[in-house]
Amino acid sequence: MKLNRIRAIAWKEALQIRRDLRSIIIVVAMPIILMLAFGYGVSFDIKHLPVYVFDRENSQQSRDLVQRFRSSEYFRVNRSVDNYRDLIHGVDSGDCQLGIVIPTNFSQKLREGGPVSVQAIVDGTDGNSANVGMNYAEAVVLAYSQQVQLDWLRQKGQRTMDPPIVIAARTWFNEDLESLANIVPGVVAIVMAVVGTFLTSLTIAREWERGTMEQLIFTPVTPLELMIGKLSPYLVIGLADTALCAAMGVWWFGVPFRGSVAVLFVSSTLFLMVVLSLGYLLSVALQSQLAASQASMIATFLPAFLLSGFIFPIDQMPALIQLVTHIIPARYFMSIIRSVFLKGTPIALLWEDMLALLIFATALVLVATRAFKKRLR
């Protein structure tokens, strides 16, 4: 392998990239836009759920209960309605996600004793939000119920009691329980996957389409040298983008960075190798820009988004799909990058994921080179 041939190819590639305004936009603007879009757009902090209240009794006690809903930051009581039809319309149209119905005999039943039901009508379309919302509602109701009970017990001359159980929760790694801390490191992975394959598939496939690739073939350069030479500028760009995204994550979004930069660097390089080789392979196989860019979207972005654990936890997926995620390189990188940002895990504990990435990278480089040779014939 001749280093100066590789260097010549890399230099030409870098010049072309620099002069191609579109490539520069992709390289700089896309990561920023994706970071901002995902960082702000994807949030699972279920708060300010729009609520309608249908207080059929409107007594001191029912208003007390409603007040607890009002003062909770998880809910936003938008309207008080006085009939079912308005409530139903609210849920149907999406104006409210939760409807609280307090029955007409609320305080009477409380005086008499025995359980009284407060209805929580939830728009179940968004199952997750509905689940979380109902849990919050139940917590509010149970807390109120407990308070009522304790007051009643005291009234009846029983000794005073404190609420029996309290949960003292300590959240690790993400003290504010913000989904931002979860999402933002993951976006770095998504950005690298997208920019890496997208860029290579467009520029390299374009060379095939235009025929300039054939010029290179007739020089003494070997397929492996060609690949390394062509991809190295993109590797550098990819690492720069990683740094950009990591910096944005820390300084713009305020996500903590507890691990080591070296680990980030090494794992990013490995992942970029995977992603770039994949883009290269697709360009060689498909040779058309349209097909290559589409295929790269499907091969990198989708798996990175869906199957890497970015939004949907892998351990909750059906067993078969969990098996499939083992061949998704993004899965390993996602795990590493979250550990690096939030947990500060030492590299010793990350070796399995790193090894997986290394295997993928090597395999793809070999496959891509072989595909290139076959295409020549």
Partner 1 sequence: MWLRLREMLKKEFIQVFRDKRTRFLLFGPPIIQMVIFGYAATLDIQHVPVAIVDYENSQVSRDFISRFEGSRYFDVRVRTLDREVVRTLIDRGDVVMALQINAGFSELLRKGQTAPVQVIVDASNSNTALVSLGYVNQVASRFAQDYQTEMLNRTAPGLLPQMPQIVLDRQPWFNPDLRSQWFFVPGVMGNLVTLVIVILTAFAVVREREIGTLEQIMVTPIRQAEFILGKTIPFFLIGLLDASLITAVGTFWFHVPMRGSMLVLVCGTVLYLLCVLGIGLLISTLSENQQQAMVSAFFFLMPAIIFSGFASPISSMPVALQWLTLVDPLRYFIVILRGVFLKGVGFDVLLPQMESLALFAVLILTASVLRFRKSLD
Q: Which is nearer to partner 1, 44 or 362 (CB)?
A: 44
Measured from the CB atom, is 270 or 342 closer to partner 1? 342
Please tell me whether residue 294 binds partner 1 under the rule CB under 8 A: yes
Nearest distance from residue 37's CB to partner 1, in Å?
5
Q: Which residues from 141-180 bind partner 1, rule CB under 8 A? A: 141-146, 148-149, 152-153, 156, 158-175, 177-179
CB of 236 to partner 1, least distance (A): 20
Nearest-CA neighbor of 205 among 145, 99, 284?
284
Member of 7, 92, 236, 376 binding partner 1 (CB under 8 A): 92
Q: Is the dihedral of CA 223, 229, 231, 235 positive or negative?
A: positive
- Quick one: 110 or 278, whose CB is closer to partner 1? 110
Q: Which of residues 249-288 bind partner 1 (CB under 8 A)?
A: 286, 288
> What is d(CA 351, CA 178) in angstroms, rounded to the nearest whole number?
28
Closest CA to 267 of 140, 176, 358, 181: 358
308/299 Cα distance (integer angstroms): 12
Q: What angle do CA 297, 303, 306 make, to 5 degrees?
A: 120
Stretch that binds partner 1, among 238-246, 270-278, 289-297, 355-363 (CB under 8 A): 289-297
Site map (CB under 8 A) of partner 1, residues 102-121, x = contact: -------xxxxxxxxxxxxx
- 46 touches partner 1 (CB under 8 A): yes
Taking the complex as a whole, the smallest distance from the CB of residue 225 to partner 1 amounts, in Å, to 26
What is the rounded CA–CA span in Å between residue 213 and residue 368? 15
Q: 368 with 280: CB under 8 angstroms?
A: yes
- Main-chain phi, psi angles of 146, to 5 degrees: -60, -45
The structure tokens 């001359």 sit at: 157
Q: How many residues bind partner 1 (CB under 8 A)?
A: 121
Contacts of 22 (CB under 8 A, 6+ apart): none
Assess contact for 62 and 105: CB atoms under 8 A. Answer: no
Beta-bridge partners for 52: 79, 99
Residue tagged 């149907």 (tokens): 92
Nearer to partner 1, 2 or 22 (CB): 22
If one asks whether residue 351 binds partner 1 (CB under 8 A), the answer comes out as no
Position 239 contacts partner 1 (CB under 8 A): no
| Cα four-point dihedral sign 99, 103, 109, 110 | positive
Which of the ranges 232-240, 244-252, 267-275, 316-324 carries the binding residues for partner 1, by CB under 8 A? Answer: 316-324
Query: Which residue from 69, 198, 208, 271 is in contact with partner 1, where contact means CB under 8 A?
Result: 198
Determine, following the binding rule CB under 8 A, whether residue 34 of this chain makes contact with partner 1.
Answer: yes
| Contact with partner 1 (CB under 8 A) among 18, 70, 94, 326 | 94
